[in-house]
Amino acid sequence: MVRLGPNRYGKAEVHVVTVGRGAAPDGGDVLRDRRVSTSLSGELAATHLVGDNRHVVATDSQKNAVNVFVRRLGDVEPETLALALGRHFVDEHEHIDRARVAVEEYPWVRLGASPHSFARSGQYVRTTTAVVDGELGVGVVSGVARLVVLTTTNSEFWGFARDALTTLPDTKDRMLATEVSARWRYRSAGDAEADWSAAWTAAYQELLAAFSQTYSYSLQQTLFAMGRRVLEAVPAICEVRLVLPNKHHYLVDLEPFGLENENQVYYAADRPYGLIEGAVLADDAPDADFAWD
């Protein structure tokens, strides 16, 4: 005998761009470029078992909801949009117990003095996910992805375990590069007044500061420093999860050509790469695993 386990369904990557015409302080336009993904779960056994769809909110309708809320809410932070959408699905549909709304926001910058023209600023993607659960409440996890950083020095790696399979030499000076994926959970997500923008910016800046100011003996140490600084700077955040690929840069051997290479010329390898993952929590972080769902 078999049974249905956890399940959810939704519309992924509704790519919606909105213009707040003349909404910038100087009278220029405000541009928001987002990919919104929604997921619903609840009393959905019938559609799985016998194809009875009466509890199914079509993914097409979920897409419509994204468009409608984007229009109604206008120029709001992605967290506000995600929360409003999540609450809508759970409130309006009695058989939907939980909604998960994820937003990726792509930054653009105004082109000089032009009120209407923009260039994509590809340095990172701002992310947020709101989970609205009829019973457990609301969780908000925001973050940043595709943030590529590098430090030319101030990184060592030595004293690690050695056995018959170890060939890596100790190094007292290496280049360290990574593509930061960080997500942080807010302590209390329900507060409509939360200043999401200020919190996001502070967290982002702490990540960069921790990366550039940590003299690193391992990428794990840098990871912990990044999480700790976010928690210390933004009390509204209670947990940070980080994924840091170690984008290896190997010194090129120039000896065969009679040249020295004093940490000047590196080969940037694609694969394989180290991958460091970890969480940093406030001591008093409330339990809320569903927020990471």
> What is the footprint of a copy of itself within residues 55-94 (CB under 8 A)?
55-61, 63-65, 67-68, 70-72, 74, 92-93
Q: Which is nearer to a copy of itself, 26 or 167 (CB)?
A: 167
End-to-end CA distance of the chain: 28
State in angstroms the smallest separation of the CB of 277 from a copy of itself. Answer: 5
**Site size for a copy of itself, by CB under 8 A?**
138
Q: Provide the 10 A C-beta neighbour count for residue 3.
A: 6
What CA–CA distance (Å, rounded) separates 9 from 39? 5
Task: State in angstroms the smallest separation of the CB of 174 from a copy of itself.
Answer: 12
59 carries an active-site annotation: yes
Binding mask 178-217 for a copy of itself (x = CB under 8 A): ------------------------------xx-xxx--xx
3-state secondary structure of 60: helix
Q: Which of 11, 63, 88, 247 is catalytic?
A: 11
Q: Identify whether the C-beta of residue 184 lies closer than 8 Å to the C-beta of residue 126.
A: no
Chosen residue from 187, 282, 290, 292 binding a copy of itself by CB under 8 A: 282
Q: Give the contacts of 96 (CB within 8 A, at least 6 positions apart).
A: 40, 41, 42, 55, 57, 89, 90, 134
H/E element holding 164?
none
Decide: is 12 part of the binding site for a copy of itself (CB under 8 A): yes
Nearest to 42 by CA among 50, 54, 32, 31: 54
Query: Residues 81, 138, 182, 231: which binds a copy of itself (CB under 8 A)?
Result: 231
- Chain-centroid distance, C-alpha 286: 20
Residue 159 contacts a copy of itself per CB under 8 A = yes
88 is catalytic: no
| Nearest C-alpha neighbor of 179 from the set 270, 250, 244 | 244
- Rounded to a whole number of angstroms, the minimum distance from the CB of residue 228 to a copy of itself is 5
Is residue 99 part of the contact set for a copy of itself (CB under 8 A)?
no
If binding is defined by CB under 8 A, does position 223 make contact with a copy of itself?
yes
Out of 191, 265, 290, 292, the residue judged to bind a copy of itself by CB under 8 A: 265
Round to whole Å and give the CA distance between 139 and 248: 35
Nearer to a copy of itself, 198 or 252 (CB): 252
Q: How many CB atoms lie within 10 A of CB 171?
A: 12
Distances (CA, A) of 242 to 139, 175, 222, 281: 18, 20, 10, 11
To the nearest whole angstrom, how small is the minimum distance from the Cβ of residue 127 to a copy of itself?
16
Would you call 172 a catalytic residue per the annotation?
no
Question: Which entry of 55, 59, 93, 152 is annotated as an active-site residue?
Answer: 59
| Neighbour count for residue 78 (Cβ, 10 Å) | 24
**Piece in contact with a copy of itself (CB under 8 A), picked from 47-55, 78-86, 128-136, 190-198:** 47-55
The C-alpha atoms of residue 178 and residue 275 are separated, in whole angstroms, by: 9
Work out how close the CB of 198 gets to a copy of itself at its nearest, in angstroms, rounded to a whole number.
Answer: 19
Quick check: helix, strand or coil at residue 223?
A: helix
Q: Binder to a copy of itself among 26, 27, 135, 163 (CB under 8 A)? A: 163
4 or 192: CB nearest a copy of itself: 4
Residues with active-site annotation: 11, 59, 248
